[in-house]
Structure 1
Amino acid sequence: MKILLTAIGKRVQLIKYIKKHGEIIGADAGELAPAISFVDKFYKIPKCTDINYIDSLLDICKKEKIDLLIPLYEREFNTLCNNREKFKELGTTLLLSHKNLISICNDKWNTYKFFIENNINTPISYTKENIENILKDNPEELNFPFILKPLDGMGSAGVFKANNKTQLEFFKDYIKEPIIQEFVEGTEYTIDVLCDLKGEIISIVPRERIEVRSGEVSKSKTVNHKEIIKATLNLVNKLKQHIEEYKVYCKVASKNFNTPPLEKDEASVIGPLTIQCIVTKEKEIKFIEINPRFGGGVPLSFEAGVDYGKYFRYMVEEREIKPIIGNFKEITMLRYDEAIFM
């Protein structure tokens, strides 16, 4: 089995675990990514905004006979989804969810709307226009503090806390296209979800975020939290239902209005999802984000017993995969920095 990972950056632990089951080809726009030292072969590629980006990946897939292409950087996802069939023609499976799911995940207001429309508990959120109207007409209705972040933000970049009206008025203009969320106090969890190529859930592993540095977890522990697992199962099934309904709509539109059809056999939820939630003191579970990729702390789920590399091999070999939801060890991860000398 040959796997191509893009934007490998510092994803050393991810590579080490998957490498146990196949050959890892790494690609990155930079030549000084630490993970380069751990892949079997490396290719420098253009940035995902470059016109030659897709062609460069297609060339690698053809040359290396890649079985599975796993992108690790959100900015790549839309472009890759739009070219899924080109990779399929080369015998390469793109391990990335449906483009409608990408649009839900990559825009935090779309994520919020999805939560609300599907009765999934989430912090109350506002657009900049919503907040400006409230500040103008009914400022006493605002219940501080608030969390402000870019609609298309990644990690902790550009995330700010507004404790009062002055800070709110500043940050709503400082951040380009912000989403403003009520601040929810509680225990933060990241949930690692893995789905097969048919969209069936293989595993769900909640990880408590004990300590975070620069948006990535540095101390974490797996927790077999039955209610979080149950709520996550419901969320993912709602995602699948939403996308299936969207696909039906697209088929009707394609027939009646001559719009482009969907790619053939495009599944809804494929591969990894990283979902974030907060559990309040009242035991309420409030979901915050969905990301259609590996989280930075996913090696903890590997170590807890979810062998992603094995399941990737099963997908490539079209073998049956039995779900192991809730079947993992409760362990703690403490991360530290390492260096590579060249």
Structure 2
Amino acid sequence: MKILLTAVGKRIQLIKKLKIASSVIGTDAGDLVAASCFLDKFYKVKKYYEDGYVEQLLDICYKEKIDYLIPLYEKEFELLCNCRELFERKGTKLLLSSKKIIEICNDKSKTYEFFKANNICCPKTYFKEEVPDNVKFPLIIKPFDGMGSSNVFKIKNKKELQFFIEYVENPIVQEFIEGIEFTIDVLCDLKGNVIFSIPRERIEVRAGEVSKSRTIKNEKIIREVKELCNKLNGIGENEFLIGPLTIQCILNKNNEVYFIEINPRFGGGVPLSFEAGGNYALYLNKMKNGEDIEPLEDFKEITMLRYDEAIFI
């Protein structure tokens, strides 16, 4: 099996895990890319918004006989969704959820509307002009089209709100939910069926990416994640979750699950879920070969401590 990853950057742990059961080719718009040293082959390509970018990917898929294209950068998702059939003509399956689902996931205001319309528990959310004068603090502010934890701030009073609501581009404001934050790594087959759902407690986050985390067998979170996935699969005809996604939630002291975000991609801390038993490459191989897949019902509870490492070239 051959996998093509885009925007590989420094996703070295992900590449190493995928290479256990597959050949991994990668692309990036930059020259000095740490992950390129760990790939089976690396291609420098144009930026996603430049003319010819899709054509470059199509050429790579044809030349390398790629089975799965897995994009890692949210801003190119819609573009690649529109070209799904072009890749299939090259024999490559785009491992990315359907377009309507992408639109919901990539726009946090649409995510909130989806949560409310489907009675999914989530924090109260306000757009810039809607924050009431008597709003209760603390709050969370972030861009509605943001990625990761970039430009996400906790606000303790009105003075901070006035500053950050102008500082953050395209802001939305949410009530702050006290509790334990989880990221759930999910893998779906080509028809939206959940193969596994592995919750990771976010113990420590550094520069927007989890640095300390542990897997937790929380049956309530796992059950509610599967229900959320079923509702996403039901938003339209031939709309399915496909491949990897990460879902973020907070578990409060009353054991209530508040969902925050849905990201249709690999999360930064996904190597922990690999190690816990969620072997994506193994299941992608089964999907490629048309094998029946039994959902993963058990996984290891382990802790991941991440550290920096240098490459010299």
Q: 2:273 aligns with which of 280, 293, 301?
A: 301
Q: Distance in 1 between matches of 2:199 and 2:255?
A: 15
Query: Which residue in 1 is equivalent to 2:308?
Result: 337
Q: 1:183 aligns with which of 176, 199, 204?
A: 176
Deviations 1:29-86 (A, max 9, x none): 1111111011001100101111111000001011111111011110110000000000
- Deviation of residue 164 (structure 1)? 0.9
TM-score by length of 1: 0.90
Alpha-carbon RMSD across the aligned residues, in angstroms, is 0.9
Query: Which residue in 2 is equivalent to 1:156?
Result: 149
- Deviation of residue 129 (structure 1)? 1.2
Q: Distance in 2 between matches of 1:201 and 1:185?
A: 29
Query: Which residue in 1 is equivalent to 2:140?
Result: 147
Q: Secondary structure at the match of 1:21?
A: coil
Amino acid paired to 1:334? L
Q: Distance in 2 between matches of 1:23 and 1:50?
A: 27
Q: Secondary structure at the match of 1:202?
A: strand
Q: 1:277 aligns with which of 240, 249, 260?
A: 249
Give the fraction of aligned pairs with identical amino acids, expressed as a percent.
Answer: 59
The total of aligned residue pairs comes to 313
- Deviation of residue 18 (structure 1)? 0.8
Query: Which residue in 1 is equivalent to 2:161?
Result: 168
Q: Distance in 2 between matches of 1:111 and 1:341?
A: 42
Deviations 1:107-159 (A, max 9, x none): 0000001111101100001001102xx2xxxx2x2101111100100112111
Q: Distance in 2 between matches of 1:315 and 1:47?
A: 30
> What is the correspondence of 1:56-67 to structure 2 with a 5 Å cutoff?
56-67=56-67
Amino acid paired to 1:44? K
Do the aligned residues in 2 keep the contact of 1:197 with 1:267 (CA within 8 Å)? no
Q: Distance in 2 between matches of 1:280 and 1:198?
A: 32
Query: Which residue in 1 is equivalent to 2:214?
Result: 221
Q: 1:318 aligns with which of 274, 290, 303?
A: 290
Q: Secondary structure at the match of 1:168?
A: helix
Amino acid paired to 2:204? E
Q: Distance in 2 between matches of 1:211 and 1:177?
A: 26
- Deviation of residue 267 (structure 1)? 4.9
TM-score by length of 2: 0.98
Amino acid paired to 1:324? L
Q: Distance in 1 between matches of 2:244 and 2:22?
A: 18
Q: Distance in 1 between matches of 2:179 and 2:213?
A: 15
Amino acid paired to 2:203? I
> What is the correspondence of 1:216-255 to structure 2 with a 5 Å cutoff?
216-242=209-235, 244=236, 247=237
Question: Which ranges of structure 2 fall in alignment gaps of 5 or more residues?
Answer: none
Q: Report whether the alignment pairs 1:38 with 2:9.
A: no
Query: Which residue in 1 is equivalent to 2:123?
Result: 123
Q: Distance in 2 between matches of 1:319 and 1:43?
A: 31
Q: Distance in 2 between matches of 1:154 and 1:339?
A: 25
User: Which portions of structure 1, spanning 4 or more consecutive aligned residues, are displaced by more than 3 angstroms?
Assistant: none
Q: Secondary structure at the match of 2:234?
A: helix
Do the aligned residues in 2 keep the contact of 1:277 with 1:288 (CA within 8 Å)? yes
Q: Distance in 2 between matches of 1:90 and 1:320?
A: 25
Q: Secondary structure at the match of 1:287?
A: strand
Q: Secondary structure at the match of 2:103?
A: helix
Query: Which residue in 2 is equivalent to 1:290?
Result: 262
Deviations 1:320-340 (A, max 9, x none): 111113x10000000001110
Bigger mean CA deviation after superposition, 176-185 or 316-325: 316-325
- Deviation of residue 184 (structure 1)? 0.9
Structure with higher Rg: it is 1
Question: Which ranges of structure 1 fall in alignment gaps of 5 or more residues?
Answer: 248-265
Amino acid paired to 2:311? I
Deviations 1:13-39 (A, max 9, x none): 111111111211111111111110110
